Amino acid sequence: MTKLSAGQWLAAVTVLAICIGTVPIQANEGLERLMEDPRYWVFPGGNYQNWRYSELKQINNRNARKLQAAWTFSTGVLRGHEGGPLVLPASETGLPHDTLYIHAAFPNNVFAINLDNLEIVWEYAPIQDYDETVPVMCCDTVNRGLGYGEGKIILQQADTTLVALSAKDGAVVWSVKNGDSKLGQTNTNAPHVMKDKVITGMSGAEFGVRCWINAYNLSDGELVWRAYSTGPDSEMLFDPEHTTELGQPVGKDSSLKSWKGDQWKIGGGSVWGWFPYDKERNALYYGTGNPSTWNPVVRPGDNKWSMSIISRDVDTGMAHWVYQMTPHDEWDYDGVNEMILVDMKIKGEDTKALVHFDRNGFGYTLDRTNGALLVAEKFDPAVNWATHVDMKTGRPQVVAKYSPGHQGEDVNTTNICPAALGTKDQQPAAYSPRTGLFYVPTNHVCMNYEPVSGGEYVAGQPYVNAVLSMFPAGRVSPGPEYGNSENNNNLGNFIAWDASKGKIVWSIPERFSVWSGALATAGDVVFYGTLGGYLKVIDAKSGKLLWKFKNPSGIIGNVNTWESGGRQYVGVLSGVGGWAGIGMAAGLINDTDGLGAVGAYKGLSSYTRLGGVLSVFSLPTH
Amino acid sequence: MTKLSAGQWLAAVTVLAICIGTVPIQANEGLERLMEDPRYWVFPGGNYQNWRYSELKQINNRNARKLQAAWTFSTGVLRGHEGGPLVLPASETGLPHDTLYIHAAFPNNVFAINLDNLEIVWEYAPIQDYDETVPVMCCDTVNRGLGYGEGKIILQQADTTLVALSAKDGAVVWSVKNGDSKLGQTNTNAPHVMKDKVITGMSGAEFGVRCWINAYNLSDGELVWRAYSTGPDSEMLFDPEHTTELGQPVGKDSSLKSWKGDQWKIGGGSVWGWFPYDKERNALYYGTGNPSTWNPVVRPGDNKWSMSIISRDVDTGMAHWVYQMTPHDEWDYDGVNEMILVDMKIKGEDTKALVHFDRNGFGYTLDRTNGALLVAEKFDPAVNWATHVDMKTGRPQVVAKYSPGHQGEDVNTTNICPAALGTKDQQPAAYSPRTGLFYVPTNHVCMNYEPVSGGEYVAGQPYVNAVLSMFPAGRVSPGPEYGNSENNNNLGNFIAWDASKGKIVWSIPERFSVWSGALATAGDVVFYGTLGGYLKVIDAKSGKLLWKFKNPSGIIGNVNTWESGGRQYVGVLSGVGGWAGIGMAAGLINDTDGLGAVGAYKGLSSYTRLGGVLSVFSLPTH
């Protein structure tokens, strides 16, 4: 095995890494200053660490009961509205007022709203081909929001067009295509601006797409680097010697060796989610999705680097380290959920940690500097597919009776917890430095899973080959210790998590999955939305419900906060949908034999209907 | 001319009046009691008199500034949402809670909502053929709401299906078709329950339909009588001797004689709106629409009884009296706007009055017992098409320069006020017995109008033959005396009107037409919504703005109020559309050469987008 130096590897990848060094690397200090100013919300996760935390405390645990709707805005689009608003000051936009930017589900309209008078300053209404794009969107027509940098609002359209819009007037500054929806490639993630780059992923694992992550120049949209989730080291931007797994070099062809034949070419590993940036290390962190077909029998091996956390250099894309949470996935436990960066004490030691709540039901705490595994504990006691994670090998210890691969093709493996949509999915958690706790919206859902034989890969066609049904975890694991103290039908919990110990501090049962992103604030309150439509405020310490409000539609958006004119506002999109709400979003709610999530969430029809409304709340002025 | 007695006439019309006398006439006293109970809202106009007034006063002019959103509900349907909710007690429905019923724009879904927990008790989701029905809806896909009687929620679907649903479980009790959308027939009105009957109209004047009004048995949906707006006396249910116009018998063939040849067969006269019921006289009152084609040159004559107010016996349909406001219409000044029944002093005399704000810009007060014309004054000083109404003949005195018929075919007659959508359209006014004032949402829009030659009638095809453009009245008649004191661009005013004198008491300029229905209450506050999305509360006496809230979308719904659990609530649908919002609703907002209203309301795009949300408000509990 020929060993290459880091420098040689860098040279080897410059074919893909088109522009390295051609543009002066900028720190984008303006963006960092804006993130530190709690009056604005400029990065999807609030700050580069993905805390979804605000220092604003006008709204707090003593007055939150007085909250009221301040204003509302319908996007004019129905179906699932994920993501949340951005808020920018006049100094960034050239507009004479604070401006709020909000996006819609497909076809991904973007609105700039004048926060002085609530008028629409501009709208960007992309023309996208519904028939070409929507059928390759696996899990509703969601879009997870906007990025911002240097006067540009960045939108990743579903049809793989990445577009930069003038924050002032909505004019298209640049536009690039980063995929081809005819091949099953599509996007849902919010673009993330880091320094002078725009980071965006590529999805399509359910269509046999070999997925990747991109970095584009913020200034002109030129592709800087692209790193695939599977394949040769040069295309993954892996350095066999310097890219490590649990402290050891991954070695040559670490991905290729983990697949049968050429299967890595249709190997999935979707990239979407909420990516943090570690300025000190110039690193971004993200997770990869499932290794394409949901029938594990036909794809032996660990299927690297699907289902993995990866740390990369923002400027070159080169991977620092990787950790695969679910080798050889048999359950669709994508690793795409957000990473949260917190410096904390673990077993008495100051640790630069990365915290991640995985679809597979384990809450992971890693050393983000080297990928060392520190904590891996179940964040829902109902999780049963693995007994635990071996802390030396990092491998989950799979229970054979819950292993569809072990049970075999065309066999229905029953009562697996969690279901394919995971103990948590896209709904991002929040972290409060005041309590040291993570506030995690979760699913409490189990499944039966039958891998289906046959069904070859055809480009642009679904490549799933499994039949699923989902149901409340209480049917499998009844009792309060499994987080379903209220009844056996709850499909979600909202939990507080101690990431240093891997322990649930408190847990609030919810009738449905909590599919909304959380917000924590210096007012010691935590916000989240429910699929039934309630925005709730919780005391950050006790978990006590302080206030709730019934929004127009079910909430799968993220709660953001800002200040304008001296008042603190909290905003959230309602618009039921997403994977949990796909039955309602796609009009299948009465179709119990439909997609896996349809049956479990049928009860949603008693609570809400489709919508697409931004609701904004504040304390009364009188 | 053979004279028939009333008895003979009655015999002559029994072919159409199928069931007269076969069902015992019921007073539906339960419904009357419910109307008198301010905790509920059971009739579209609040009470049989169409007052849109409530005795509730928990919300009043001293505390209205503290109003806040209590809950919201998206219907899952976009485009124009007119009408408002009904609220019923447990005693009526058999459900163990107060229940709110709300409808959506096409396809006219109906929802029953449990007011204790805001859950959806049932939904009725009709299957309607979009391609057959929506193209024959002249002015957006609106529906104006539900009727109620004897445990049944009544829905008039756009596709001409009238359906009675069990208030308890939404089961279809009966369903009838009252027209054929393939012929251009369609419905938008709320069904009105009067005694044991359901009253509903038929529209389609823009498609050459000869329109009518129906009465169905509330119990089983059987047709009781049908009365056409034009044609032979027997089909209009006119008695030449006993049906009067300004105190005189109309005489034989009063409609036929007013048309050239057979044109009455395609004579329009759409019936929709808000119909009041006069229990003492067993009379209902309604207006008829335009005489089909908008090219007046091709249809000489008065075109009776288009553009008329008609009083009919609820049990037999026989007409008591008729008054034509706009003979030989040249402007599309439909007479369909609501009638409001108030006993008031006029010139010192106790009068059983009927008050009506017509599209033609005149506010009429009639003696509802005999159709005598008492007051006819402009309720917008900008009105210029007629100088005044001759109080002896009842005829408007038309100004030749604003008469398209006088100017001729293919000539653009300019600066006519009001525009075709009238000084008021469907947006119903409210009346407060405490102030004695009428609160009227109005349009302040003028037009250029060009009748187009050619264009023969084809069944089911548009039969309009005119080209219009609309613009703010301030461009024609600037100055504060024309109601546009703020600027010359306002397209609406919200006015208080003294119907005994025919005088504007105060007027609030609005940027756009006020297309929402008003509500007055014993708290001496008046509510209305704006096309831009604000719900506003006004002091009933001074007209001072007390509070406003930005709803998800523009408001064209009616504001209703009710009490549940000891709290007063106010609810309104937002969902921009209707004629004024057709540009936005139909996606033509940037098409300045589109339909007549599109250009004038182009500015709406700075304020709102499509939606369909019921927003409910109350005072804070804390």
Please determine, for residue A436, whether its predicted confidence score (pLDDT) is greater than 90.
Answer: yes
Please determine, for residue A58, whether its predicted confidence score (pLDDT) is greater than 80.
Answer: yes
Residue B14, pLDDT score: 41
Q: What is the distance between the alpha carbons of residues A252 and A257, in angstroms, rounded to a whole number? A: 9
A550–B71: do the CB atoms touch at under 8 Å?
yes
**Run of H or E residues at A600:** helix A596-600
Q: Which residues of chain B have a CB within 8 Å of the CB of A123?
A: 605
Give the one of B68, B123, B607 whose C-beta lies nearest to A68's C-beta: B68
Task: Extract the tokens encoding B336.
Answer: 């369909």
Q: What is the distance between the alpha carbons of residues B368 and B48, in angstroms, rounded to a whole number? A: 14
Please determine, for residue B197, whether its predicted confidence score (pLDDT) is greater than 80.
Answer: yes
Least confident of A23-37, A111-125, A350-364, B253-267: A23-37
Inter-chain Cβ pairs, chain A and chain B, closer than 8 A: 98
Q: What is the distance between the alpha carbons of residues A408 and B564, in angstroms, rounded to a whole number? A: 57
Higher pLDDT, A481 or A378: A378
pLDDT 10s digits, B315-332: 999 999 999 999 999 999
Least confident of A210-214, B136-140, B562-566: B136-140
pLDDT 10s digits, A308-325: 999 999 999 999 999 999
pLDDT mean over A404-430: 97
Which of A323, A320, A309 minimizes the C-alpha distance to A241? A320
B608–A75: do the CB atoms touch at under 8 Å?
no
Which of B225, B133, B235, B228 minimizes the C-alpha distance to B187? B133
User: Among A570, A609, A617, A619, which would you mutate to test the B interface (most chain B Cβ atoms within 10 Å of its Cβ)?
Assistant: A609
The model's confidence at residue A7, banded by pLDDT at 50, 70 and 90, is very low
H-assigned helices in A290-408 = 404-407
B76 interface with A at CB cutoff 8 Å: yes
Residue A597, pLDDT score: 78
pLDDT mean over A378-402: 98
The model's confidence at residue A18, banded by pLDDT at 50, 70 and 90, is very low
The model's confidence at residue A599, banded by pLDDT at 50, 70 and 90, is confident
Give the one of A68, A75, A119 whose C-beta lies nearest to B607's C-beta: A119
A550–B120: do the CB atoms touch at under 8 Å?
no
Burial label, B392 (beta-carbon count in 10 A; 0-12, 13-18, 19+) = exposed
Distance from CA of A426 to the nearest CA of B (A): 23
A609–B68: do the CB atoms touch at under 8 Å?
no
A69–B606: do the CB atoms touch at under 8 Å?
no
Least confident of A103-112, B14-23, B150-159, B474-483: B14-23
**C-alpha distance from residue B368 to each of B109, B233, B395 (Å):** 36, 22, 18
Residue A453, pLDDT score: 96
Residue A234, pLDDT score: 98
Please determine, for residue B436, whether its predicted confidence score (pLDDT) is greater than 80.
Answer: yes
The model's confidence at residue B12, banded by pLDDT at 50, 70 and 90, is very low
Burial label, A347 (beta-carbon count in 10 A; 0-12, 13-18, 19+) = exposed
pLDDT mean over A49-68: 98
B611–A550: do the CB atoms touch at under 8 Å?
no
The model's confidence at residue A13, banded by pLDDT at 50, 70 and 90, is very low
Q: Please state the separation of Cα B354 from the chain's center in Å.
A: 15
Please determine, for residue A496, whether its predicted confidence score (pLDDT) is greater than 90.
Answer: yes
pLDDT mean over A276-299: 97
% of chain B residues with pLDDT over 90? 89
Segment 109-128 of chain B within 8 Å of chain A by CB: 111, 118-120, 123
pLDDT 10s digits, A140-195: 999 999 999 999 999 999 999 999 999 999 999 999 999 999 999 999 999 999 99
pLDDT mean over B554-561: 98
Length of chain A: 622
Q: What is the distance between the alpha carbons of residues A360 and A378, in angstroms, rounded to a whole number? A: 9
Please determine, for residue A594, whether its predicted confidence score (pLDDT) is greater than 70.
Answer: no
Intra-chain end-to-end CA distance of chain B, in Å:
74
Q: What is the distance between the alpha carbons of residues A70 and A325, in angstroms, rounded to a whole number? A: 43
Please determine, for residue A511, whether its predicted confidence score (pLDDT) is greater than 90.
Answer: yes
- HSE of A19, CA atoms in CB hemisphere, 13 A: 21
Please determine, for residue B10, whether its predicted confidence score (pLDDT) is greater than 50.
Answer: no
Residue A62, pLDDT score: 98
Please determine, for residue B11, whether its predicted confidence score (pLDDT) is greater than 90.
Answer: no
Residue of A nearest to B551 (CA): A72
Told to judge if A390 belongs to the known catalytic residues of this protein, a careful annotator would answer no
Residue B423, pLDDT score: 98
Residue of B nearest to A69 (CA): B69
Please determine, for residue B23, whether its predicted confidence score (pLDDT) is greater than 50.
Answer: no
Q: What is the distance between the alpha carbons of residues A487 and B453, in angstroms, rounded to a whole number? A: 72
A611–B613: do the CB atoms touch at under 8 Å?
yes
H-assigned helices in A456-594 = 582-585
Residue A14, pLDDT score: 41
Length of chain B: 622
pLDDT 10s digits, B539-552: 999 999 999 999 99
Which of B329, B260, B331, B338 minimizes the C-alpha distance to B299? B260
